[in-house]
Amino acid sequence: MDTYELVSDYRHDNELKESFNQLAIKTFNLDFSDWYKRGYWDEKYIPYSFVHHGKVISNASVYLMSLIIDGETYRAVQIGTVMTDQAYRNKGLATKLMQQLWIRTNMTVI
């Protein structure tokens, strides 16, 4: 059985960032290159990815934010860019990533 490395917060790793981008293009026809160049990938956007042989094969990202509801401020997490390379689907990778997001961000439901 293959093993996959879980990596996160790799905005300064150009190889992983490009691999993430290629998967986004392949999956959603969405190119993040301009978004990177404009500085939008900051410390609030955190991808959690499985990597196999140096290539991002599955991803779920969080964007950390605050919400104000009825005058109360809550720490919130937006989940996005959930994708898995077609060759690696049906292995439960997205489920495992979502479990990691839950654990690592200490999410609660409001």
Each residue's pLDDT expressed in tens, for the chain with a length of 110 residues: 578 999 999 999 999 999 999 999 999 999 999 999 999 999 999 999 999 999 999 999 999 999 999 999 988 889 999 999 999 999 999 999 999 888 887 766 55
Q: Tell me the residue ranges of DSSP E strands in 15-92.
A: 45-52, 55-69, 72-84
Residue 37 maps to a domain: yes
Residue range(s) defining the domain that contains residue 85 = 5-105
pTM over the 0.95 mark: no
Radius of gyration, CA atoms only, the chain? 15
The pLDDT of residue 39: 92
CATH code, domain carrying 62: 3.40.630.30
- Helix/strand/coil for 75: strand
- Output the pLDDT for position 106: 73
Contacts of 82 (CB under 8 A, 6+ apart): 59, 60, 61, 94, 97, 98
Answer whether residue 110 is part of any domain.
no
Number of domains forming the structure of the chain: 1
